[in-house]
Chain A
Amino acid sequence: MGKTVAEKIFSGKCGKEFRAGEVVMAPVDGAMIHDITGPLAINVFKEMGGKKVFDPKKIIMLFDHQIPADSIAAAENHVMMRNFAKEQDIFNYDLKEGVCHQVVPEKGRVKPGDIVVGSDSHTCAYGALGAFSTGIGSTDMAFVLKFGALYFRIPESIKVEVSGSFQRRVGPKDLILGLAGDIGADGATYKCLEFCGQTFAEMDMSGRMTCSNMAIEMGAKAGIVPPDRVTWEYLKNRCETEPFLLNADEDAVYFEKRSCNISSLEPKIAVPHNVDNVVDVSEVAGRKVDQVFIGSCTNGRYEDFKEAAEVLGNDKFSNDVRVIIVPASKDEYLKCLKGGLIELFVEAGALVEAPCCGPCMGGMFGLLAPGEVSLSTSNRNFRGRQGSTEAEVYLSSPATAAASAITGVITDPREV
């Protein structure tokens, strides 16, 4: 009986044949902590009697949610983490590089076949590189910091086979929003989404990261794109590793198999207040927006801003909309800067902020007043996520966000 990609990764790492449903204490290749959940993990590590972390080289530390510190409490958390990094000899990217889920792959800290954990739910993003990566809480992270391993229940997999090519101004975000709408917010709970098919084979790493990132929005533990030429191309100048194939076996056993063709996929939008409330953009076109946020670990890469810039063209953003642009990392920021995109956005009336999570979590800036509407390229539209619980958050692709920022109302990007 064949194996899924998730079963292969756990069996390979553990040197024993494992199947979905089995519980295993597995070693981790990487553990990421940031400024929100890191301090709690460090405190619990000490409560657990932790003295030295298992391997400082495998721990990735950075600050991205509240940077530069937006409160004295945040500043104190940063100091505490900096001190821990020095004491434990952990390299700390601090607040200089950007959002965790962009920085970890960018710096070559994750490779195909790895088991990676992060104390952030969107850690499933690294599945785009063919790793088994998943979000955990701070106490589980404390256990990892101490022992370099964690209990995992090896998940059953849902095979998602996607074929066809995107229409103009329709892209990976529309695909993953559509899937979230179909599968539902808990339709993949505790499962691994295994993405495959022609569409994924042709998709660039940026699009794959967008899709893997949102696996958690269906409840999934991981969202994996098996490594291929695109993966190895992305990694070749980032880390030392030899290419290998990691595909599921033909006769692998799946919890479910889904397939779709995206050739006629419409631009999608998640309407308040759940990520799986997904409709075609045309159904809500014309609704007024007060703020548009383009950025986050879901859609804060150069490719996303290039798409937005193409929609913008020589237009300006509406005077009635606050447009907030936040590249996901220093590298992505510089690519946008050198490519002339930053100048274009600023000239068009946007605020461009330094790499960070921005309004995604409603932690530091870009908060909404009661009654206001935000359109965001991030991954969650929960009530109160970006400020007032009486505000509304819609989620879309960068193209739809840019089109709506120009007109001031939700707009199908194909019509701009």
Chain B
Amino acid sequence: MRVWKFGDDIDTDAIIPGRFLTIYDPKELSRHAFEGTRNDFANEAKTGDIIVAGRNFGCGSSREHAPLALKGAGIGFVVAKSFARIFYRNAINTGVLPIVCPETDVIRDGDSISVNLKEGVITAGDKKLLIEPVPEFMQKIVDSGGLVNYAKEMEEVSVCTK
């Protein structure tokens, strides 16, 4: 799968600029993904492509439009050295899997890589890179296909209260 390589501190304004936040449809959002910062992405990204980045991917806004725009472009995984907190949760909730991998430096733009979640490795050429497991409580949400599915059948949640 083709890699779209990005650097450190890719913010949510870069992923989807503020002027497009009245849009909610992932497909339509994807037409403006990285507009102004990486214009080839919206035109050329294909289903199954993977975003690979450095530290702090998705910093900034809580706008869920950011992972939705990536989802609309067909991106299933974002691999980064680290993620900003809100983006990480939003990505899990919307079904774009954020994968933490400390060794993204060895992956280049345009590379072809494969992600094996079961084995916890990314194969990039002849290299095998270890990825960190998704936290347990997040895995439950991922397994049910996102937070919407997880919550759909539930009438109530069990909350600790005084």
Residues on A lying within 8 angstroms of B by beta carbon are 12-16, 23-27, 36-37, 39-40, 43-44, 47-49, 65-66, 71, 73-74, 77, 118-121, 123, 135-140, 142-143, 146-149, 151, 153, 185-186, 189-190, 219, 221, 274, 361-363, 380, 382-385, 388-389
A23 partner residues in chain B, CB cutoff 8 A? 135, 137
Instruction: Given A136-B89, A149-B159, decide whether A47 and B148 contact each other with a Cβ distance below 8 A.
Output: yes
B86 partner residues in chain A, CB cutoff 8 A? 121, 135-137
Instruction: Given A40-B65, A74-B22, A138-B64, decide whether A24 and B14 contact each other with a Cβ distance below 8 A.
Output: no
A13 partner residues in chain B, CB cutoff 8 A? 160-162
Cβ of B52 under 8 Å from chain A: no
The smallest C-beta distance from A8 to any residue of chain B, in angstroms, reads 13
Could you mark each residue 134-148 of chain B with 1 if its beta carbon is under 8 Å from any beta carbon of chain A, else 0? 010100000000111
Cβ of B11 under 8 Å from chain A: yes
Find out whether the CB atom of B62 lies under 8 angstroms from the CB atom of A137. Answer: yes
Cβ of B37 under 8 Å from chain A: yes
Residues on B lying within 8 angstroms of A by beta carbon are 9, 11, 13-14, 17-19, 21-24, 36-37, 55-56, 59-65, 82, 84-86, 89-90, 93-94, 135, 137, 146-148, 151-154, 156-162
Find out whether the CB atom of A120 lies under 8 angstroms from the CB atom of B62. Answer: yes
How long is the Cα–Cα vector from A171 to B9 in the complex, in angstroms?
27
A16 partner residues in chain B, CB cutoff 8 A? 160
Find out whether the CB atom of A37 lies under 8 angstroms from the CB atom of B63. Answer: yes
Find out whether the CB atom of B61 lies under 8 angstroms from the CB atom of A121. Answer: yes
A120 partner residues in chain B, CB cutoff 8 A? 61-62
Option from A25, A39, A138, A142 in Cβ contact (under 8 Å) with B157: A25
The 4 closest A-B pairs by CB, nearest first: A389-B36, A14-B160, A137-B90, A73-B22
How long is the Cα–Cα vector from A354 to B65 in the complex, in angstroms?
27
Instruction: Given A47-B148, A139-B94, A362-B18, decide whether A186 and B56 contact each other with a Cβ distance below 8 A.
Output: yes
Option from B13, B22, B85 in Cβ contact (under 8 Å) with A71: B22
Option from B13, B137, B162 in Cβ contact (under 8 Å) with A382: B13
A362 partner residues in chain B, CB cutoff 8 A? 13, 17-19
How long is the Cα–Cα vector from A385 to B60 in the complex, in angstroms?
11
Option from A48, A118, A147 in Cβ contact (under 8 Å) with B152: A48
